[in-house]
Amino acid sequence: MTEVVAALIWREGKFLICRRPPHKARGLLWEFVGGKVEPGETKEEALVRECREELAALVVPRAVFFEVTHAYPDLTVHLTLFTAELVGEPQLLEHVEMRWIAPSEIGNFEFCPADEEILRRIADIEP
């Protein structure tokens, strides 16, 4: 099982999503920014590193929002989604696109399957 972390970052009632590059697994699907936890890292440390690598910005992890395990054909992930605070303006370093969307807009985007249960929860809340 692969440990993965991601950030739920809110700004003015919208949350940040990023679109995967076409050459990667699950290419062009939308996801939360984040990535794999490396050996020796805490989940929080991994989230800070991944966001720096992918957005050139600092995130401050807060509470765990949700955890889910999902089996893809090529790997099984245990995803921990943290609410996080963004410091600075994000830049596209890895993804091909990023958007700030309202919970009511979730249905307009095709997300990675591991995110589906999380998105149902977000759709039911106000930031």
Our CA dihedral for 123, 1, 7, 84, rounded to 10 degrees, sits at 110
Name residue, tokens 């410091």. Answer: 87
- At 68-125, the pLDDT tens digits run 999 998 899 999 999 999 998 999 998 999 999 999 999 999 999 999 999 999 998 7
Domains, the chain, in order of start with CATH, read: 2-123 (3.90.79.10)
- pLDDT at 125 (0 to 100): 73
